[in-house]
Amino acid sequence: MPFLSLLDDRAKPKGSRDPLGFELIWTHYGRQVIGNLTTITGSLTNFAVAILGFKWANDLHAHVPEADRQSRIRDSFLRYEQLAAYLRYLSGDMQIMGITRVKQRMGGKQTQVSFGVGSDAQILSDQASYGLWGLYSSAMRDAGLVQGDNRLPTPIGLAIAEKIEKKLIHTHFLDRFSSLKPVAIAELEPLSTAFKQAINNKVARKELMHTLMGGGQYKQLQQKLWLQTQGMADENSVIAGIPDFITQVKARNNGSDLAQRLTEIEWVERVLVAANNIFNYCRRKDGAMVTELVRELEQRYSYSHLSESFSFESLRDVLGIQRVDILQRLLQALRNHNQCDVVMALLELNRVVMELRGGCPWVELENGSTLRVKVPNETATLLDQDELESRWDYDYFIGSYINIASQGLGLSWKTQ
């Protein structure tokens, strides 16, 4: 059974962000290439910490009746995650989910820490949702490392976890995070070095990296991408950002299905950047005449860089007929340099997206001529033409992919 209790880490508070509903669009195209990683799962160390914790939590409660097992496993994992965070901090690792609370508790006059599911012990405001249990599980499930609501390691995941724990006396760790009483920080310090060595086990991390980056049994394009990525690493290629990464992969795969999917990502990104640029600017134009805005845009931009081949038609099953029709009108207006139609399409798209969320438009027209802004952006400015043609607003999960490749292969590749 899938993770029924798993919070979608890409879900955003309704109405608070993504006013044009672009998340579904870039996610759709990103998932064509990278099927398991998310924008948040960019730490190989976090994956190593998580797989060990899933093993230990499941081992502890393997014989608990099924009705109580999941809550017991989850609670034990949250305790383990707290311990792991403190141990990582003591060993100098600051790339921790929950670093703010960990630093406060470990860097002050406090001499003890507690482990538990209460707010006084959690290292995040909602640790189950926004920690490793919630945010890293889907990527591990899709890669075939864990399964079920309990995040039970698969044979592949179990083999990796066993390599990580190989030199640890695991009872020393289980006793600490299972404790119902506060534990002295001084007791944790001797464990931090051993834990750091364990989660940095080279053999385990290599297997973990290959499993994650391959994407899983049915992710053929991602497997092709991973082969090309390793080839680029072997050749000491330098990556200066997501666009550069895409360019280099395409150069090695001219005419392939992988190259075509990456080209589509480039095409859609140019449209989304153009749309965001204008809509964000509208949000600081409360009271302005739409004719004045249109005149300003006409004098500033050309959209000849947009692909003539790209279409949103393939998204009808994803977005629905109404939204795709608006997007198609937006795209055609951009190609025709019809800035008035561009603005009208953007305002309509925002209205439809917000209605679907039970909210109100962020920007609308009063009497058909005056912009009225309900959610302003006082700092928004129009991009220069070259920025319009080169800027990236979304990462299509490629940023996390590059980060893990860099960590696992010992590279210094950049995402921006």
**Final residue before a domain boundary, out of 183, 214, 245:** 214
Average pLDDT over residues 309-337: 95
In this prediction, residue 2 carries a pLDDT of: 38
The residue assigned the tokens 């890409």 is 10
Same domain, 313 and 203: no
The answer to whether the CB of 343 falls within 8 A of the CB of 277 is: no
Say if residue 175 is in the same domain as residue 281.
no
Q: What is the pLDDT of residues 47-95, one digit of tens each?
A: 999 999 999 999 999 999 988 999 999 999 999 999 999 999 999 999 9
Confidence of residue 108 (pLDDT cuts 50, 70, 90): confident
Q: What is the DSSP code (8-state) at residue 146?
A: E
pLDDT band at 9 (very low <50, low <70, confident <90, very high): very low
Q: If you search the block for the tokens 């305790």, which residue do you land on?
A: 79
Q: Does residue 328 sit within a domain?
A: yes
Task: Give the pLDDT score at 216.
Answer: 83
If asked whether residues 182 and 46 sit together in one domain, one would say yes
Number of domains in the chain: 2
* Residue 368 included in any domain: yes
Reply yes or no on whether the pLDDT at 355 is more than 70.
yes
Helix (H) / strand (E) containing 373? strand 370-373
Task: Name which residue leads in pLDDT, 254 or 8.
Answer: 254
Mean pLDDT of 378-400: 96
176-197 mean pLDDT: 92
Backbone angles phi, psi at 3, to 5 degrees: -75, 85
Question: Are 42 and 184 contained in the same domain?
Answer: yes
Do 5 and 149 touch, CB atoms closer than 8 A?
yes
CA distances from 404 to 24, 40, 60, 69, 255 (A): 24, 11, 30, 32, 27
pLDDT of 8:
36
Cα distance between residue 93 and residue 410, in whole Å:
17
| Three-class DSSP category at 100 | helix
Domain hosting residue 108, numbered range: 36-214
Distance CA 11, CA 248 (A): 31
Single-letter amino acid code for the residue at 48: A
Is the pLDDT at 3 greater than 70? The verdict is no
Quick one: average pLDDT of 327-355? 97
The domain boundary, picked from 152, 184, 214, lies at: 214
DSSP structure class, residue 40: S
- The stretches of 255-315 forming alpha helices (DSSP H) are 257-282, 290-298
Highest mean pLDDT among 10-14, 107-111, 144-148: 144-148
Cα(128)–Cα(134) distance, integer angstroms: 6
pLDDT for residue 10 is more than 90: no
Classify residue 19: in a domain, yes or no.
no
Please name every residue paired with 363 in a beta bridge, in sequence order, or none if there are none: 373
Average pLDDT over residues 150-157: 97
Q: Is the pLDDT of residue 158 over 80?
A: yes
List beta partners, residue 184: 112
